[in-house]
Amino acid sequence: MDFQKAFETNKETWNKKVAVHAASDFYDVAGFKNGKSTLNKFDLKALGNVKDKRLLHLQCHFGLDTLSWSRMGAKCVGVDISDVAIKKAETLNKDLNLDAKFICCNVLDTSQHILETFDIVYTSYGVIGWLPDLKPWAKMIFERLKTGGVFYIAEFHPIAWMFDYTVSPPKMKFGYQQNTAIYEEYEGTYADTESKMISKEYGWNHSLAEVIT
Ligand SMILES: C[S@@+](CC[C@H](N)C(=O)[O-])C[C@H]1O[C@@H](n2cnc3c(N)ncnc32)[C@H](O)[C@@H]1O
């Protein structure tokens, strides 16, 4: 399969999602601008005091989590394949007078764009399903972590991706360790199910065993 073509298709879809998500109640950009953190309690508890820590956020979308860590004093770099998401993140960073940096690239190519190493590499909620193979991803994380640094991932259980959500009720349709890509086209997004936007996307399922290994 042509992975570059799949990444291009996903990028186009994520570019379109940014405006829809930035206007959604789900992402509540107004609340965020007024000081609300988008981070979950258990992420905050797990990483503790991040002040002055160098934090690399992989697949940062339009930056709300990255900038939430910045507000807590972390020195953040966010990476995402969507140039529209990165532009939006940079605008928010500037508007809020924060000091995060953002880089637009395929997460698998991160080490071609960043040479520094980090205290924390962070990634969360809806990320690995966009990657066909976790080995180059894990290698890149190893390259970007300082010795003794922390890699933190919070992700949905892989069973979530075995369902076809375009039918009601959702139907179990895909394999737990499926090697082949799953292609889907559907209207709306998780952040705005009423949106008329059409998503076209390729995804890959990864078992817990694969993730942990
Ligand atoms: C579900 S979002 C991340 C969720 C994040 N926790 C949030 O809610 O803001 C997935 C992100 O992965 C990005 N993405 C998908 N494939 C990618 C790739 N190959 N390289 C880098 N970013 C990618 C998308 O552009 C999107 O911003």
Arithmetic mean of pLDDT, 46-53: 98
Whether 73 is in the pocket of ligand 1, judged by its Cβ within 6 Å, is no
Whether 43 is in the pocket of ligand 1, judged by its Cβ within 6 Å, is no
Tell which wins on pLDDT, 52 or 1. 52
Give, to the nearest 10 degrees, the angle between helix 83-95 and helix 3-22. 40
Whether 84 is in the pocket of ligand 1, judged by its Cβ within 6 Å, is no
Residue 87 CA, ligand 1 centroid: distance in Å: 14
Which residue has its alpha carbon closest to ligand 1 atom 17?
81
DSSP string computed for 106-137:
-GGGHHHH----EEEEEEESS-GGG-S-HHHH
Whether 183 has a pLDDT exceeding 90, the answer reads: yes
Whether 127 is in the pocket of ligand 1, judged by its Cβ within 6 Å, is yes
Whole-number pLDDT of residue 98:
98
Whole-number pLDDT of residue 179:
86
Whether 59 is in the pocket of ligand 1, judged by its Cβ within 6 Å, is yes
Whether 107 is in the pocket of ligand 1, judged by its Cβ within 6 Å, is yes
Q: In whole angstroms, give the CA distance from residue 202 to residue 108.
A: 16
CA 64 to ligand 1: nearest atom: 9
Whole-number pLDDT of residue 21:
98
Split at pLDDT 50, 70, 90, the class of 166 is confident
Tell me the C-alpha to C-alpha distance, in Å, between residue 126 and each of 29, 49, 66, 155, 189: 19, 25, 15, 6, 13
Whether 186 has a pLDDT exceeding 90, the answer reads: yes
Whole-number pLDDT of residue 181:
96
Whether 119 is in the pocket of ligand 1, judged by its Cβ within 6 Å, is no
Percent of the chain with pLDDT over 70: 100
Residue 49 CA, ligand 1 centroid: distance in Å: 25
Q: In whole angstroms, give the CA distance from residue 58 to residue 141.
A: 9
